[in-house]
Structure 1
């Protein structure tokens, strides 16, 4: 029995799919299948039921899952303990980034970390905020830069980066273009171009619409803020973005603050609370890299209403 076999078994159990598990552990699907078959032969029982569309656990698999997780955790703890004693940091760091991110401090942190710890393999990928947060929660991702409409899940630490209000971005000849602010109801009288569900800004906007009894007309969706702005520029709808996103297109779009949204948008770093030495080292670099961004955000006045006691992070510069 090998640790990698247990790792692949846990991945299939949690993903309920061999293809997704293979992507998660960065090997081929056939490699995952072969190693789990070998593990099943060694144990003398099938662990995965392959008869349905989803890969589900057999009773033997259910019995084995917690022990497999514990074995992997113990092996990781041994490595981390030795690394701590020897002052070494090595292994693999998986970092997630919300799709369309325009804040480069994360890249600065990655570069500084790589210079100090070249032995650590770094994986960087993009996804929407909901999936990134869940990936951090289950331990598949070490750290992620996200926009979120909720408090972090249990076992996850965070570093708030930016907090700001939402704004509508409209063409310069749009009826709202001369307004500094407009109500949520007025914004929703027009077709809208929004980020998709699963992103922080969209979650804040949807929550405000529900609370205000407003039904928005979502004409188009796009996953990247620049695409949202481009669609609005062409007159295909009013773009719903964060204040800084809308302001970034000054000159071709007018930014209109939205009243009736009680929660602010924010960008947040989230990571597993039980961090190993590599993750701890990267968090130190991230805190330093994001320090100027956080300082600038605190110094910049926001036209939109402040959170009024509610914390709803999403995203200046990101969804």
Structure 2
């Protein structure tokens, strides 16, 4: 069994198409097909079910994929560990984040870190809450900034930096636009603009409304913070979003109003693998984050 065979197998398994895998890997389709055939012959099992130009994993193929992804991650980490042991200030950090932390929290932290360690490289992955947790668990990224911070996941460990307020964003001509503060109950008859189902910020807001005995009327959905702010700016509804998301980019033609009942908040922090040691450069950044946000709370 060769590493090249494993790499080809993983790529075909992910894409479920030999030609697409060949294009991505910049090799001939025949070369991939031959290596997959050799791998299956060596193992004595079929890893794929052929369906014309497409392929699907067999049950044993799915199990093999999971094990091989872990094996490749271990090999990659071993290479990186040797390199970073020699010089951790020239390593690479793969970090994920949701759109709600993309405009202020993430850039602020990375900018401050690079002032101290200018040669460290970053590979950034923006994504949704639950997929980011899975990427950290599988080792496809090293860590992720998240809000709220999951504290009871088996495969990842969460550390909280701070707790932040969620605020109401209303069109400037909304009847309640002049209020100094709001209760969530005052918005029960409004049209809400929220993330789609399955996004954690939607869950936070829906749960807060449920505590007051109503279900928000969701008229529009946006998959990132900027889309949601834009829809509110257009007068299409109201939303509840983290206050930090409007510090550097307040939406035009809107007003921000604190929500005082219930007090809607979320924790913000970082997750790392629970059962896998951080490499030197990763640990350097992790310790920096813990110190950086601890000092931020003093101001």
TM-score (norm 2): 0.75
CA contact (8 A) 1:131 1:198 kept: no
Question: Are the aligned partners of 1:167 and 1:256 in contact in 2 as well (CA < 8 Å)?
Answer: yes
Spell out the pairing of 1:121-270 with structure 2 (5 A cutoff).
Answer: 122-148=122-148, 150-151=150-151, 153-246=153-246, 249=250, 252-261=253-262, 264-270=265-271
Partners of 2:77 and 2:292 in 1: how far apart? 34
Supply the distance in 1 between the matched residues of 2:219 and 2:38 (Cα, whole angstroms).
51
Cα RMSD after superposing both structures: 3.9
What is the match of residue 2 of structure 1? 2
- Cα 1:105–1:245, aligned 2, differ >3 Å: closer, same or farther? closer
The more displaced of 287-296 and 189-198 is 287-296
More displaced 10-residue stretch of structure 1: 101-110 or 88-97: 88-97
Equivalent residues of 1:105, 1:289 under 8 A apart: no
Establish whether residue 36 from structure 1 lines up as the match of residue 36 from structure 2: yes
Which residue of 108, 113, 126 corresponds with 2:111? Answer: 108
Q: State the alpha-carbon separation in 2 of the partners of residues 88 and 164 from structure 1.
A: 32
User: Given the superposition, is the C-alpha separation of residues 134 and 112 from structure 1 closer, same or farther in structure 2, using an over 3 Å criterion?
Assistant: farther
Contact 2:84 2:90 in 1 (8 A): no
* 1:221-257 alpha-carbon deviations (Å, 9 max, x no partner): 2233233223212211112211333565288422222
- Deviations along 1:264-301, one digit per CA (max 9) or x if unpaired, are 22332222231342xx42342354367555543x357x
Cα distance change, pair 33–18 in 1 and its aligned pair in 2 (3 A): farther
| SS class of match (1:151) | coil
- For normalisation by structure 1, the TM-score amounts to 0.71
Closer, same or farther in 2 for the Cα pair 1:243/1:92, shift >3 Å? closer
Aligned partners of 1:227 and 1:220: how far apart in 2?
10
8 Å contact kept, 2:230–2:251: no
* Cα deviation digits, residues 103-140 of structure 1 (max 9, x gap): 2135426746974456xxx5322211221112112222
Q: Separation in 2 of the partners of 1:72 and 1:219?
A: 45
Q: Cα deviation per residue 1:35-70 (whole Å; 9 max; x = unaligned)?
A: 4344223334311234498833344x3664576466
Deviations 1:2-48 (A, max 9, x none): 224335545766x5x536xx89xx74697795443442233343112
Gaps of 5+ in 1: 301-319
Quote the Cα distance in structure 1 between the aligned partners of 2:37 and 2:92: 26
